[in-house]
Amino acid sequence: MQEATQLVTTGILTVPEDIFWLSLPEIKELLVTQQLDRTVIASRKEKFLHYAKLTPPRAMTREGEIITTKPGAQVPPGSLAGSPVSVGMVEGRARVILNLEQANMEKGDILVAPYTDPAWTPLFTMAAGLVTEVGGMMTHGSVVAREYGIPAVVGIDKATELIKDGTYIRVNGTEGYVELLHHFNSPESCCHSRE
């Protein structure tokens, strides 16, 4: 960052963070030549924004085949079907978290996220349940949910769009679906059973 700040001072970079759009060999060359084709950074930023809008497939084989079949659970009308990965049923307030750095959860909330990885593990100590858009039986969220004994359903396409933050939901981790509750309970009257 010290080098990047110096490159901003000399007018080569616009902001220090632009350095992260370059590879290490490109940075080394830049430090020697003091010349940069700014279209490289602009092009990479544009590609990044494009890729950020793409929806990853629920599951892929190691050969790259995209699996599009839905789980076979019989779900109540209006429910969201996914894959059951940690048994039990829980009802509570959905906390839709798209970015870990902006996570705002309270104990008993149900974590709804695109996916989880090891950095998300501290949120599981507060979560009463888990819903993710991608994942399978052996993905991070599924394994940790089973270790913590919280119901979990994964592989629900567009879960973070269909489930609004603060909505009360019921997660059925045994059958593999999430119900959006049409009545809104207060947190005090919310049921947190883990049958």
Beta-sheet pairing, 177-180 with 80-81: antiparallel
Rounded Cα–Cα distance for residues 48 and 20 (Å): 12
CA distance 84 to 72: 10
**What six digits make up the tokens of 47?**
């590609």
Yes or no: say if 124 and 111 are a contact pair by the CB < 8 Å rule.
yes
Residue 77 is predicted with a pLDDT of 87
Per-residue pLDDT of the chain (195 residues; tens, 9 = 90+): 999 999 999 999 999 999 999 999 999 999 999 999 989 999 999 999 999 888 766 566 677 766 554 545 578 888 999 989 999 999 999 999 998 888 889 999 999 999 999 999 999 999 999 999 988 888 999 999 999 999 999 989 899 999 999 999 999 999 999 999 854 544 444 444 444
140 as an active site residue: the answer is: yes
Residue of 140, 182, 183, 192 with catalytic role:
140
Contacts of 154 (CB under 8 A, 6+ apart): 82, 83, 85, 130, 131, 132, 133, 134, 135, 136, 139, 141, 142
The token pair at 84 is: 């059951």
Whole-number Å distance between alpha carbons of 61 and 161: 26
Domains of the chain by start residue, with CATH: 2-52 (no CATH), 76-189 (3.50.30.10)
59 bridge partner residues: 67
> What are the distances in angstroms from CA 31 to CA 2, 6, 12, 16, 98?
12, 10, 10, 14, 36
Give dist(CA 14, CA 143) in Å, integer. Answer: 43
pTM (predicted TM-score): 0.63
